[in-house]
Amino acid sequence: MGAYILRRLLLMIPTIFGIMAVSFLVVQLAPGGPVERMIAQISGSEFNVTSRITGAGPGEAGVQPGIGAAATGDTPRGQYRGAQGLSPQFIAQIEAQFGFDRPPLERFGMMLWNYLRFDFGESYFRDISVIDLVLEKMPVSISLGLWMTLISYGISIPLGIAKAMRDGSRFDVWTSGVIIVGYAVPGFLFAILLIVLFAGGSFWTIFPLQGLTSENFAQLSWWQQILDYFWHLTLPIIAMSLGAFATTTLLTKNSFLEEIRKQYVMTARAKGLTERRVLYGHVFRNAMLIIVAGFPGAFIGAFFGGSLLIETIFSLDGLGLLGFEAVLGRDYPVVFATLYIFSLMGLVIGLISDLTYMWIDPRIDFESREV
């Protein structure tokens, strides 16, 4: 077991390296970047941004009056559009501020070295370190991902087992119809419907429209804070759970049906074991392996990518929205830091999932497996 865990941990190193290398290459080839964005802002006379780069205001050292109007008489670098009127020295200063005065390979090596020490630097366009920014947004994403996963698994597994035991019955047919409809409806569309019905859209005003807590959250008692927290989470969690609920239910049903039809189940029944003993003493352990295998992907998907549209619709400032805005704003430290963190989380959770296999079914021997 120890050798297997060590091999998996060592395998994470080239995996992370490959993910970061491909992402870094894509970013280098993509048009635009933080330097170009800053030049565009400066050319538009956004002196507040210029002041942050140079520490000077309009007319002071480093920023010349009439910037962007070719007042300096210098020839700008040809590779940046919108840089007319900016001196090459000033553009070089901006490049140095963002670290783009170094070759790409050197920047990539420095980024990896810093990330190995969990030093993610500071955001390009926010006055805050990346790690503090991630920690600030983390509670929203943890709330959405954790509760959505727990609720979807808590409902889907019992429902899937019931459908497998009553395969072909009226209960199975009707619940399958509801599940298919739920799977077909996009989560964001269902979120809009919930807002229209229950958040003051056109009918009832029962749930809040935005935020994770109320403005007076600090003044509430502990039990009122718990109620307020779940009051705000109700609609987003329902909207997010719809697709995952359908997928996990059908996966559970099919997994149990496959196991129920195997020879060892008929043998157990022939020995006189009760149906409950056969189901939970023999079938459950084998059928749950595939469900456990899908847990890491479901959790990571809900924790990051899957919550983007829901966070936007319900005005929840989480990691999904943060990563999306960072990509649009070319805030590369935030982009690469969130990519690194979630790639690492995915690999670690995948390892935990494999170890959970052994807890569910001790017949699995990791020592004899080749990674």
Nearest to 161 by CA among 244, 242, 279, 286: 279
pLDDT (tens digit per residue) in 218-255: 888 889 889 988 898 888 888 887 767 777 888 888 88
Kindly report the CATH number that applies to the domain delimited by 132-368: 1.10.3720.10
Q: How far apart are CA 181 and CA 241, in angstroms?
A: 13
Question: Helices in 44-129 by DSSP H: which ranges?
Answer: 47-54, 88-98, 104-116
Q: Model pTM?
A: 0.69
- 336's CB contacts (< 8 A; 6+ apart) are 20, 23, 24, 111, 115, 120
**Domains of the chain by residue range:** 31-102, 132-368
Residue 216 has which token pair?
């007076």
In the block, residue with structure tokens 């993509």: 30
Please tell me which residue, 355 or 369, carries the higher pLDDT value.
355
Using pLDDT thresholds of 50, 70 and 90, give the confidence band for residue 83: low
- 269's CB contacts (< 8 A; 6+ apart) are 275, 278
Q: Which of 37-41, 321-325, 334-338 has the highest mean pLDDT?
A: 334-338
Burial of 336 (0-12, 13-18, 19+ CB in 10 A): buried
